[in-house]
Structure 1
């Protein structure tokens, strides 16, 4: 009997010691997760997203803080909504968060990310980024395309001048996207394709791609419900748009192959030569070239066009700013309003640059930037974030933060940048419309060179008013859905000679 009692005591003591050790180990390894809203089974927090996720995520951040962990189905998603948190994550852990999540839409459109924007971080990405920067996006190359910008803008101005002589409403949106497309096409493809039948629905195709890339397909986050994407036609739409663009890009590439002996060489020619070289063991396939071209169109056309559209919208809504900009342009250019404003003239126009900066703050091209993916565990603000977590940076929320921009952060006021040292070229996390760090957009110089000189010429030569039938806050500021956010409605205006 005594032996049994002793055995029970020893067993109990050993069990208690084991449990104590186990509890200590669990306490020692307990993770501290960021604040998170309550989530539903299976779908997680997907039900809390609106048609405009940048707005709904900002509303959630007011309650749960600027570092917030959501779950989109099975996928953990970290949402960053302040410059301070962005600094701790994007700057301190830039390398660990330099990757991209591999999404279903990207798998279909871009063969798993064989382009520059969505490509996984690594040697292939560095190789194609370097090629694009050197042969299209560098300062030297941007300057070399000045004659292209001047020719296309001059042609556009003739169209506007004809429209100004009539009393009919004028669709400025169509003209702007044609301009962006023609400049980008000539710079990267060697000639413009806007007159071709296959490009007739170009804007709608770009819009669809950006909508799909910025969407939240159910099957991506809840595999057991992937069939719903097929029923609602998402899979068919992705395949259809992909085939349209693939056909156009294949035609462009083949055209360059057939005329390889031409005296001038554009980006496609360079990519074809890299394909043959197989530099440093990096394989650039013929099919990859069309994905890189698509990047140039999305960056050089869709986002640049959206930026100009928002600039003209805000200036027309704020005529005092329009007048102030006209005065600066005419004072610096020292030319009659009917003459072309050159890029040399634009160089010293401070208020023009302040206007662009303010519009980039209020209407960043990608309000949630392009998602990233953590490849290693990190600790941010005392919180543990696991590898494999997707990272969304809400640039739209950061750039409207009243702690940084004041109580009037929602208002269009270019003067706020007069004495500000904050910059959008990667030095200030308070202003990140083009991203930050390794995955920052490399095409800023290409885009701004076109936006600045186009804006200067449009505002210098014409006065602008909206058609009263197509105006009002609800109409003017209505946004599209998708990866980028442009005007939902076309910009219908009445231009008149200044």
Structure 2
């Protein structure tokens, strides 16, 4: 019998006496601690029942009652929830080194960690070496700029695709178009000219999407670490994840082998895999061969797992907010069209001058951060936040969604007002804790620059080339802005975005 077929209450019942004993011991130990306030807990499951379908919203409501630093018990895992900029600054800046590891209790993340995926790796020598030797170079400004031609070519293809599949009255599924654009950019950056070879790129994208979906799915057994060995042995979910990850691993190996082929035609631009293979050869030559093929796969994992879904999600939210706020859309279009004139397209060098477009993106990231709850950190050393004790092995999660809606920092917080960033220095790069869509500190998302560069270029061309209308009979207030937690924990728009494009340039 597979674990998935066993009722969830049965294994929990078997461990009830042990859990009660552990609870009594922890209660005794906590009497002399100044712990953050906690909502009432249920036996065994703790506060799991209070998360709801949209945990970021549920936790935001709880923080209004229990404060910006709360301690929840999610199954057997103590979890500190941070919901204010001041508390986030203490955690991610002042005490960054004390809580910059990653938890390994989740089965899917444990697999990724074992295979070397740096985003999920615990803090240590491996993580520091990988970040220094490859990730920072991979996402450097110079490296991102060298791939400018890829993004511009794919934007042109996106515009042409919209032109060919639309009419003046027929809506298109813009969500689907934007996903294809982001997937194409990421694939070409990683694989170069092999996107047109015998590689099954479509299957590759399906595998990445399935891994993201499994990472984002809820698995209650992961909140009971003492049951991990049962889950690893019997869980169909765990076994499926292992199979699908091995398929992705084999795909990466196939691409690496193609790049190592001596008969391969020399490329004009050094691709990501070429750069990583060069780094491996340099280390072997110097006698310090710590960088292996497995590390190359880990870096590729950083590029793909989460990136495609997060970038696409952000662009969809931007276009949804603009469709709902035609004044803002027109103002953005006027800025772009007045600056570009009749040139026919927007290039990356143009986007630096489109200040209102940048405000639109910032306002979208405030209201719709791609990761509403930043990836959990694991506390390594004791420290205090707002006077409360935070102990090792506690998980720490920052509610970026709640911070972006905190009335202490934002006026008219539910309204889409890009003008709030005029003469406002707040940015999303991890230095201003009122806006944390990409995190801060050592665990800041390294692909932030490449992500926002692609987002701004694609949006600028969509607003320049087309006027966007709602489907016939639909009004702005009819646009469904409901959220759903999707693949890679990105908070997606629940329904597809369908708009009517009218070609202008």
Q: TM-score per shorter chain, which class?
A: 0.7 to 0.9
TM-score normalised by the chain length of structure 1: 0.86
| Structure 1 segment 128-277 matched on structure 2, within 5 A | 128-165=130-167, 167-191=169-193, 193=195, 198-200=200-202, 205-223=207-225, 233-259=236-262, 262-264=265-267, 265-276=270-281, 277=283
TM-score normalised by the chain length of structure 2: 0.85
- Separation in 1 of the partners of 2:160 and 2:136? 33
What residue in structure 2 maps to residue 492 of structure 1?
A: 498
What residue in structure 2 maps to residue 363 of structure 1?
A: 368
- Separation in 2 of the partners of 1:476 and 1:381? 35
Which protein has the larger Cα radius of gyration, Structure 1 or Structure 2? 1
Is 1:374 matched up with 2:376? no
When the two chains are superposed, the root-mean-square deviation of aligned CA atoms in Å is: 2.8
Q: 1:228 to 1:148 in 2, by over 3 A?
A: closer
What CA deviation, in whole Å up to 9, does each residue of 1:242-273 have, x standing for no partner?
Answer: 23322322222222222586533322223234
What residue in structure 2 maps to residue 392 of structure 1?
A: 397
Q: Which range moved further: 461-470 or 112-121?
A: 461-470
CA contact (8 A) 2:324 2:479 kept: no
- Separation in 2 of the partners of 1:413 and 1:259? 55
CA contact (8 A) 2:374 2:398 kept: yes
| Structure 1 segment 437-456 matched on structure 2, within 5 A | 437-456=441-460
- Separation in 1 of the partners of 2:405 and 2:336? 28
What CA deviation, in whole Å up to 9, does each residue of 1:54-98 have, x standing for no partner?
Answer: 111111111111100011111111100110111122111011111
Is 1:420 matched up with 2:427? no
Question: How many Å apart are 1:328 and its aligned residue?
Answer: 0.3
What residue in structure 2 maps to residue 98 of structure 1?
A: 100
What CA deviation, in whole Å up to 9, does each residue of 1:301-350 have, x standing for no partner?
Answer: 221111111111111111111111110001111225xx111122221111
Question: How many Å apart are 1:294 and its aligned residue?
Answer: 2.0
Q: Which range moved further: 244-253 or 256-265?
A: 256-265
CA contact (8 A) 1:206 1:298 kept: yes
Question: How many Å apart are 1:156 and its aligned residue?
Answer: 1.5
- Separation in 2 of the partners of 1:411 and 1:311? 13
What CA deviation, in whole Å up to 9, does each residue of 1:343-369 have, x standing for no partner?
Answer: 222211111000000001111111111
Give the match's secondary structure for 1:387: coil
Equivalent position to 1:73, from 69, 72, 75: 75
Gapped regions of structure 2 (runs ≥ 5): 1-27
Equivalent position to 1:405, from 405, 410, 425: 410
- Separation in 1 of the partners of 2:198 and 2:58? 40
What residue in structure 2 maps to residue 17 of structure 1?
A: none
- Separation in 1 of the partners of 2:333 and 2:449? 23
Instruction: Report the count of equivalent residues.
Output: 470
